[in-house]
Amino acid sequence: MGYRIMVIDDEKIVGDMAKLSLEQEGYEVETFLNAEPALARLKEEKFHVVVTDYKMKGIDGMEVLRTVKRDYPDTTVIMITAFANLDAAIEALRGDVHDFFPKPVKIKELKSSIRRALIKENAVA
């Protein structure tokens, strides 16, 4: 199954490493350094999962979450953040985020989370 995953984080390494690891699982991965081109891309192509950083310059993670949930309700959003902050987590949860990972991220856990999300998506679909 050609599941497409989008990774948005202003740290280049995050995207690079995530791409390498996730492609091992057979996903198609596209990475972005900020949210604007990412959201534009979403208009062109369906993505099953969007992994986004919480705090970025310009459009931040919460806005990505809101946009995706509004325009692409089938798409799962997972947040990663340097902010280990309860308020941020609650805010994201209320925004219907699927999962929330404080940095440093354990890639294995990220993969599990993505897997669960896709199962859920398939079940719903």
Partner 1 sequence: MKIEKKLIISSVINAAFIVLVGIVGFQYMNLVLTKLRFVEIADDLNASFLEMRLSEKNYFLFHNKETLVEIQNKIEQTRKTLKIEGNDIVRAIGVSDLRGLEMRLTTYETAIILAQGRAPQDPALESSIRTAGRSLKEYSDSITQLERRRVNEIILGSKRFMLYSFWAILILSLLISHYISQKIVRSLRGIEAMTKSISGGNFNRIEGLQTKDELGAVVSAINSMSEELAHREEQIIQSKKLASLGILTAGVAHEITNPLNNISMIAQTYDEMYDKLEEQDRKSFMQRVEAETERIRKIVKNLLDFSKPKEAHPREADINTVIQKTLMLVQNMIDVSGIETSLQLHTDLPHVFVDEHQIEQVLVNLITNAVQAMSEGGWLVISSRSHNHGESVEIGVCDTGKGIPPEFVPHIFDPFFSTKGDGGTGLGLSVSYGIIKNHGGEIRVESKVGVGTTFTVELPKYSHQDRVNNGSESLSDRTQLNKELV
Write down the least CB distance from residue 15 to partner 1, Å. Answer: 10
> 26 in helix, strand or coil?
coil
Q: Closest Cα partner for 118 from 19, 101, 63, 110?
A: 110
If one asks whether residue 108 binds partner 1 (CB under 8 A), the answer comes out as yes
If one asks whether residue 17 binds partner 1 (CB under 8 A), the answer comes out as yes
| CB 13, CB 57: distance < 8 Å | no
Sheet (strand 76-81) strand order: 28-32, 4-8, 49-53, 76-81, 99-102
Distance CA 116, CA 77 (A): 12
Query: Looking at 8-16, 40-48, 68-76, 116-124, which segment touches partner 1 (CB under 8 A)?
Result: 8-16
Q: Among 45, 71, 82, 96, which residue sits at the site for partner 1 (rule: CB under 8 A)?
A: 82
Write down the least CB distance from residue 3 to partner 1, Å. Answer: 19
Task: List residues near partner 1 by CB under 8 A.
Answer: 11, 13-14, 17-18, 20-21, 24, 55, 57, 82-83, 103-108
